[in-house]
Structure 1
């Protein structure tokens, strides 16, 4: 019986309000239990780092996610490994054989020029949904706010479905300071010009998630979520945690 007034959440096959988890090697049996209880709260699953390439029974895991209408993609590290070894055509064939319809194009570990990434998007967009990532995993590499905005805008214009803002699974690089503090000035600048529905903010820790929920709204796109945290995150989105208790019932901020 529902009797509380809560923020309205997107539902079904979401295009925003997305929760994207990072799967760092969940055993299939454990995953079955997680999805049976909490699959309704998960929209996308990233097979983190390059783990998909060596995961036993990888096809079984992918099929399990897809049974719950959860989109699957491989972490950007695997893409970058293939790029450096000139194996992108083989990588595309590998994904299609696995039944994966999404591909991440990133440069978090190696420096791939923006023009090369834009070219690859154009080459692959007819075969895949594309997620691109902006920002480095190296906390010592700083991008200017202007470069952040320029890259995000150009990647979306090139045909990406979403752009991810780098944060790592530790929340200590990209949109975060080494200390784990959010670069709030950067987020504010991105939101001035970019449709937040097209950005997935990596937010691995509850304190990061609560910031974005309070700043943007309950239907903000969040990534690198730990599978064990998806219920708590949904509670946060619904104003059922003290830090988001008064979250306003509002749609994500939009810029047109």
Structure 2
């Protein structure tokens, strides 16, 4: 029975309002239990860091995600490892053998020049949906706002489906201060000239998630969400947590 008036959420095969989870080694049986209940509120799953390469039964895990309608992809660190060792052709074959349709191009660990990332994107997008990431995993490396904006613009123009803003699974780099506080000036400037439906904000903590929900609404794209947090996140999006209680209330009153 639905009797509350709540903020409108995208549903089904969403193109925005995405919840992208991070899987850092969830056992397959546990994963199946989680997805059997919550797959309808999970859109994308990143097998974090380079963990996919050493994951037992990795192909089975990929199949489980796909069976539940969740798009799996491998963390950008594995792309960077392959780039560093000149193994991108082998990486492409590896992804195809696994049945993966999405790939991340990042430079969070290595300082890969933008033009080289664009070359990789041009090659990979022939066979995959490409997600690019902007920002460094080095908390001491400050990237000028103008560079953030330019990279996001260029990466989207190059054909990336989405661009991720770096935050790590710790929420302490990239768009965040070392203490986890959001660089709000950076976020507001970056979003001025960008289609926010194409940006995925890495937001691993409830505090960070609630910031973006309150700033950009219930259908903001959020990434690096822990698998066990997806239900609470959906409640937050729907104004069912104290901190987001009044989300969309003005629009709701207009409907009544």
TM-score band (shorter)? over 0.9
Q: What's the CA shift string for 1:36-65, capped at 9, x where partnerless?
A: 111111000000000101100011111100
Which residue matches 1:237?
237
Contact 1:162/1:199 (CA < 8 Å) preserved in 2?
A: yes
Query: Following TM superposition, by how much is the alpha carbon of 1:16 offset from its aligned partner in structure 2, in angstroms?
Result: 0.1
- Matches of 2:138 and 2:2, distance apart in 1: 46
Which residue matches 1:177?
177
- Matches of 1:102 and 1:136, distance apart in 2: 21
Which residue matches 2:156?
156
Contact 1:8/1:249 (CA < 8 Å) preserved in 2?
A: no
Query: Following TM superposition, by how much is the alpha carbon of 1:66 offset from its aligned partner in structure 2, in angstroms?
Result: 0.4
Mapping of 1:10-89 within 5 angstroms? 10-89=10-89
Contact 1:49/1:75 (CA < 8 Å) preserved in 2?
A: yes
Contact 1:218/1:249 (CA < 8 Å) preserved in 2?
A: no
- Matches of 1:141 and 1:59, distance apart in 2: 36
Which residue matches 2:7?
7
**Structure 1 SS opposite 2:153:** helix
Question: Structure 1-normalised TM-score?
Answer: 0.97
Which residue matches 1:203?
203
**Structure 1 SS opposite 2:231:** helix
**Structure 1 SS opposite 2:123:** helix
Query: Following TM superposition, by how much is the alpha carbon of 1:249 offset from its aligned partner in structure 2, in angstroms?
Result: 6.9
Which residue matches 1:220?
220
- Matches of 1:203 and 1:16, distance apart in 2: 16
- Matches of 1:174 and 1:147, distance apart in 2: 12
Q: 1:250 to 1:208 in 2, by over 3 A?
A: farther
Question: Structure 2-normalised TM-score?
Answer: 0.97
Q: What's the CA shift string for 1:164-213, capped at 9, x where partnerless?
A: 00000111000000111000001101111111000000000000000000
Q: Aligned pair count?
A: 251
Which residue matches 1:254?
none
Which residue matches 2:145?
145
Contact 1:217/1:249 (CA < 8 Å) preserved in 2?
A: no
Q: What's the CA shift string for 1:91-131, capped at 9, x where partnerless?
A: 00000000000000000001000000011111111100000
Which residue matches 2:101?
101
Q: 1:250 to 1:148 in 2, by over 3 A?
A: farther
**Structure 2 SS opposite 1:193:** coil
- Matches of 2:88 and 2:230, distance apart in 1: 33
- Matches of 1:195 and 1:242, distance apart in 2: 29
- Matches of 2:44 and 2:2, distance apart in 1: 27
